[in-house]
């Protein structure tokens, strides 16, 4: 047993959490993010948390890291210069893409089509053709391949993608091109589509592999620098990185397959939410992670986050397994503005970020933000982050006053309340995307709120969605780091297998699954996870014959060992009906198989709060005034660290802690669960 160190880098703050595996006691630190070099902010946080805990860095046994390096490389357009090798006749595969255009019916008129990550002038064709059945009909022309690679070398490419037609059926040609590339382009990282995404559909396979190449040098450089810096700081523990699906992978493997990290940050929050919801006894809940720049929402059913097969970052969509997270540009730093033409209040997606930050931070920001509105309304105390950040109330009032003036409102408080209402509605829209539009009633779920800004808005979101209780876990501002520290290692294997049910039998399907499971288990074993401690889940992409899309259906070992095809078909029908309200008579068809193998969850002790008597008076900090329901009303501020299990905090109230602040509205009360979570529920009807 030892200490587990979880690290999450956000757009505004870097969160570090140190957990004693034996006692469950945790220490946390929040430091400013350093966008120019994220590792600098990470090391600052690690030094601080070790100092606060009174331990030496050498005592850390595990370092688990959620990172946005890959995400930022794509959003900011600072990835590598990528060369693409494809089959003769398919040079424009990225330019053609798919027909989907974001926006309304006329969206194509104004939509500026984004430039592919591999430019056309850096795309080369080579002869050689394999059929969808894996048969070689045209041998690979190695001389032409060498010549093409030399042209790319002359263009100064920094990463290479090899994506040949039907290589998912036979990867021999791609592997040979990689061998030639090692000779012609020494030192240039090579990504093979048959390795990154061994599934049918050429555009998706190509764009996903190109994205992998695009971020690979940046991620490899960052992970390598951080690993060396950790060693230099006296931490000998291996570095593991959080994948988009909520599992951990070894740092060197993360550098090899960085496309699996695009939603690493948000996945940490959902994983941490599952950890605390399990302790509080709520297996079904919506998550709501509000930070300084954006809000991420997800749905957890039966204690497991819903997993998607597509990951979107900005204008880019790739096929990569990830927690099904939806993002909206609404955070504590979101800027409120009133367009001259409409005079209608807008909030976000522009954000003040960490620099210059909200006006209340006193770091040069002058634009009115959501944080400034919360300060004006009295919801935020005058000091944040354990007293390390002092708030300038007058600067916040001055900034929000520009909104009141532009809209002709009677008071600064009215403008601030309007800002809060607008941002809450924006976040409600995101929550409806992952619940109502997926066939789920949010009233049947709890709502887990976290992130530095989330607990301030959680009670209001619970009221809008009808999701009760609202759960605010301990240390909500560093929950992503908690998720990093408490999740398990994971790997997956996939293959395309286009077969109608009538042409398959259970034995053949089980054999294919066993082969995939063995491959994933072997890789996980190489990371130090014994096979005997591994568990597998099985996912099938299914459709009715003739459909142009698939629905993922996940099953466990019991189904695989049972009447596999019959149970699989029934599960697919149920999911299709839930999503679309009808079934088809067409025969069912398998498209892709996927096996995910996970290691054991770490044995981290659950810490239980001392029992209280229901009276939170011992935690009272002071009386205050807050603006609520159109008027200034008396409220109380409580120190969360002094609350005990069973204490009930009646609203209006503000509960403060080092990394976040929780607002309890009038007509609601927060009960302290033994695990430390606050459970907010209405105390009256309406």
Check if the beta carbon of residue 16 is closer than 8 Å to that of residue 5: yes
CA nearest to 116, candidates 161, 152, 57:
161
Give whichever of 29-38, 213-222, 319-328, 389-398 has the largest mean pLDDT: 213-222
CA triple 530-535-541, angle to 5 deg:
135
| Domain at 490-598: CATH code | 3.30.1490
Whole-angstrom Cα distance, residue 293 to residue 365?
Answer: 14
* pTM (predicted TM-score): 0.85
Comparing 72-86, 174-188, 410-424, which segment has the lowest mean pLDDT? 72-86
Given pLDDT bands bounded at 50, 70 and 90, which one contains residue 653? very high
| Rounded mean pLDDT, 328-334 | 85
Q: According to the model, what pLDDT value does residue 97 have? A: 85
Given pLDDT bands bounded at 50, 70 and 90, which one contains residue 285? very high
Copy the structure tokens of residue 621: 């900090």
Given pLDDT bands bounded at 50, 70 and 90, which one contains residue 470? very high
Report the percent of the chain where pLDDT is more than 90.
62
Asked whether the predicted pLDDT for residue 445 surpasses 70, the reply is yes
Given pLDDT bands bounded at 50, 70 and 90, which one contains residue 384? low
Query: So where are the chain's domains?
Result: 75-220, 306-443, 490-598, 608-686
CA-based Rg of the chain, rounded to a whole angstrom? Answer: 26
Q: According to the model, what pLDDT value does residue 99 have? A: 77
Asked whether the predicted pLDDT for residue 31 surpasses 50, the reply is yes
| Rounded mean pLDDT, 50-67 | 88
Whole-angstrom Cα distance, residue 166 to residue 154?
Answer: 28
- CA-CA distances (angstroms) from residue 224 to 33, 300, 534? 19, 34, 28
SS3 state at 308? strand
Q: What is the 3-state secondary structure (H, E, C) of 423-462?
A: HHHHHHHHHHHHCHHHCCCHHHCEEEEECCCHHHHHHHHH
Check if the beta carbon of residue 603 is closer than 8 Å to that of residue 21: yes
Q: According to the model, what pLDDT value does residue 35 have? A: 77
Asked whether the predicted pLDDT for residue 354 surpasses 80, the reply is no
Task: Fill in the DSSP letter of residue 261.
Answer: G
Given pLDDT bands bounded at 50, 70 and 90, which one contains residue 353? confident
Q: According to the model, what pLDDT value does residue 603 have? A: 76
Q: Which residue has the higher pLDDT, 495 or 39?
A: 495
Given pLDDT bands bounded at 50, 70 and 90, which one contains residue 1? low
Q: According to the model, what pLDDT value does residue 11 have? A: 66
Write down the mean pLDDT value for the chain.
90
Whole-angstrom Cα distance, residue 96 to residue 201?
Answer: 13
- Which residues, 6 or more positions from 650, have their beta carbon under 8 angstroms from its beta carbon? 664, 668, 669, 683
- Which residues, 6 or more positions from 395, have their beta carbon under 8 angstroms from its beta carbon? 359, 360, 362, 372
Q: Which residue intervals of 102-201 are DSSP H helices?
A: 107-110, 142-154, 172-184, 193-196
For residue 228, the number of C-alpha atoms closer than 13 Å in the C-beta half-sphere is: 6
Q: What letters, b where the CB count within 10 A reaches 16 and e where it falls short, cover 236-260?
A: ebbbbbbbbbbbbbbbebbbbbbbb
Asked whether the predicted pLDDT for residue 665 surpasses 90, the reply is yes
| Rounded mean pLDDT, 607-630 | 92
Whole-angstrom Cα distance, residue 483 to residue 500?
Answer: 40
State the DSSP string of 624-680. EEEEETTEEEEEEEEEGGG--BT-EEESSEEEE-SS-EEEE-TTEEEEEPTTS-EEE
Asked whether the predicted pLDDT for residue 485 surpasses 90, the reply is no
Q: What letters, b where the CB count within 10 A reaches 16 and e where it falls short, cover 349-381?
A: ebbbbbeebbbbbeeebebbbbbbbbbbbbbbb
Q: Which residues pair with 416 in a beta bridge?
A: none
Given pLDDT bands bounded at 50, 70 and 90, which one contains residue 605? confident
Given pLDDT bands bounded at 50, 70 and 90, which one contains residue 308? confident
Q: According to the model, what pLDDT value does residue 686 have? A: 41
Q: Which residue has the higher pLDDT, 495 or 27?
A: 495
Asked whether the predicted pLDDT for residue 36 surpasses 80, the reply is no
Asked whether the predicted pLDDT for residue 685 surpasses 60, the reply is no
Whole-angstrom Cα distance, residue 606 to residue 623?
Answer: 33
Asked whether the predicted pLDDT for residue 339 surpasses 70, the reply is yes
Comparing 298-302, 493-497, 606-610, which segment has the lowest mean pLDDT? 606-610
Asked whether the predicted pLDDT for residue 334 surpasses 80, the reply is yes
CA nearest to 163, candidates 85, 216, 88:
85
- Give pLDDT tens digits for 153-172: 999 999 999 999 999 999 99
Check if the beta carbon of residue 323 is closer than 8 Å to that of residue 315: no
CA triple 591-90-180, angle to 5 deg:
95
SS3 state at 613? coil
Q: Which residues pair with 38 in a beta bridge?
A: none
Whole-angstrom Cα distance, residue 158 to residue 453?
Answer: 39
Q: According to the model, what pLDDT value does residue 108 have? A: 64
Q: Which residue has the higher pLDDT, 487 or 179?
A: 179
SS3 state at 23? coil
Asked whether the predicted pLDDT for residue 103 surpasses 70, the reply is no
| Rounded mean pLDDT, 652-666 | 92
Check if the beta carbon of residue 207 is closer than 8 Å to that of residue 94: yes
Q: Which residue intervals of 233-342 are DSSP H helices?
A: 251-256, 264-280
Copy the structure tokens of residue 135: 């048969």
Whole-angstrom Cα distance, residue 235 to residue 524?
Answer: 23
């Amino acid at each position: 047993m030892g200490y587990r160190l979880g690290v999450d880098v956000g757009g505004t703050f870097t969160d570090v959490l140190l957990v004693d595996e034996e006692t469950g006691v945790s220490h946390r630190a929040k430091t400013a993010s350093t966008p120019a070099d994220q590792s600098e902010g990470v090391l600052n946080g690690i030094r601080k948390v070790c100092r606060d805990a009174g331990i030496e860095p050498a005592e850390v046994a595990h370092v688990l890291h959620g990172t946005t390096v890959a995400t930022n490389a794509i959003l900011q357009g600072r990835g590598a210069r990528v060369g693409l090798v494809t089959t003769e006749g398919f040079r424009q595969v990225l330019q053609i893409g798919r027909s989907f255009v974001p926006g309304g019916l006329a969206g194509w008129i104004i939509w500026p089509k984004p430039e592919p990550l591999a430019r056309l002038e850096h795309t080369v064709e080579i002869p050689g053709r394999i059929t969808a059945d894996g048969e070689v009909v045209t041998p690979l022309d190695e001389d032409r391949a060498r010549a093409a690679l030399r042209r790319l070398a002359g263009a100064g490419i920094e990463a290479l993608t090899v994506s040949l037609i039907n290589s998912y059926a036979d990867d021999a040609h791609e592997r040979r091109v990689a061998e030639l590339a090692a000779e012609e382009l020494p030192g240039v990282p090579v990504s093979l589509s048959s390795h990154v995404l061994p599934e049918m559909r050429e555009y998706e396979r190509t764009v996903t592999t190109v994205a992998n190449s695009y971020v690979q040098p940046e991620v490899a450089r960052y992970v390598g620098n951080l690993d060396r810096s950790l060693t230099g700081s006296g931490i000998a523990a291996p570095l593991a990185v959080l994948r988009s699906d909520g599992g951990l992978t070894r740092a060197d493997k993360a550098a090899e397959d960085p496309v699996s990290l695009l939603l690493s940050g948000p996945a940490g929050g959902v994983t941490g939410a599952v950890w605390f919801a399990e302790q509080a006894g709520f297996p079904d809940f919506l998550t709501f992670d509000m930070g300084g720049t954006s809000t991420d929402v997800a749905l957890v059913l039966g204690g497991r986050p819903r997993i998607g097969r597509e990951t979107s970052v900005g204008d880019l969509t790739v096929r990569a397994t990830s927690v099904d997270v939806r993002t909206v540009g609404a955070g504590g730093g979101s800027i409120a503005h009133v367009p001259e033409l409409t005079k209608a209040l807008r909030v976000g997606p522009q954000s003040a970020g960490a620099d210059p930050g909200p006006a209340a931070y006193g770091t040069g920001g002058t634009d009115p933000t959501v944080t400034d509105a919360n300060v004006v309304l009295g919801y935020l105390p005058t000091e944040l982050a354990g007293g390390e950040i002092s708030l300038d109330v007058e600067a916040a009032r001055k900034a929000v006053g520009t909104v009141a003036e532009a809209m002709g409102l009677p008071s600064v408080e009215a403008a601030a309340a309007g800002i809060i209402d607008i941002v809450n509605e924006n976040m409600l829209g995101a929550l409806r995307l992952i619940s109502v539009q997926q066939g789920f009633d949010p009233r049947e779920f709890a709502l887990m709120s976290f992130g530095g800004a989330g607990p301030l808005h959680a009670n209001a979101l619970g009221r809008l969605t009808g999701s009760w209780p609202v759960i605010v876990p301990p240390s909500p501002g560093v929950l992503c780091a908690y998720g990093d520290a408490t999740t398990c290692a994971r790997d997956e294997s996939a293959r395309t297998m286009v077969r109608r049910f009538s042409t398959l039998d259970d034995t053949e399907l089980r054999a294919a699954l066993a082969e995939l499971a063995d491959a994933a288990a072997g890789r996980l074993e190489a990371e130090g996870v014994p096979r005997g401690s591994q568990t597998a889940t099985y996912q099938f992409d299914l459709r009715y014959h003739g459909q142009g899309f698939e629905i993922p259906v996940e099953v466990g070992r019991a189904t695989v060992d049972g009447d596999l095809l019959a149970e699989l078909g029934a599960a697919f029908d149920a999911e299709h009906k839930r999503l679309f309200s009808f079934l088809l008579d067409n025969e069912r068809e398998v498209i892709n198989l996927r096996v995910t193998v996970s290691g054991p969850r770490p044995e981290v002790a659950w810490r239980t709060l001392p029992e209280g008597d229901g009276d939170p008076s011992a935690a009272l900090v002071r009386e205050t005034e807050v603006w609520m329901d159109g008027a200034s009303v008396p409220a109380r501020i409580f120190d969360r660290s002094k609350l005990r299990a069973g204490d009930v905090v009646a609203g209006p109230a503000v509960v403060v802690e080092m990394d976040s602040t929780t607002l309890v509205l009038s007509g609601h009360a927060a009960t302290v669960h033994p695990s430390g979570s606050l459970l907010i529920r209405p105390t009256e009807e309406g």
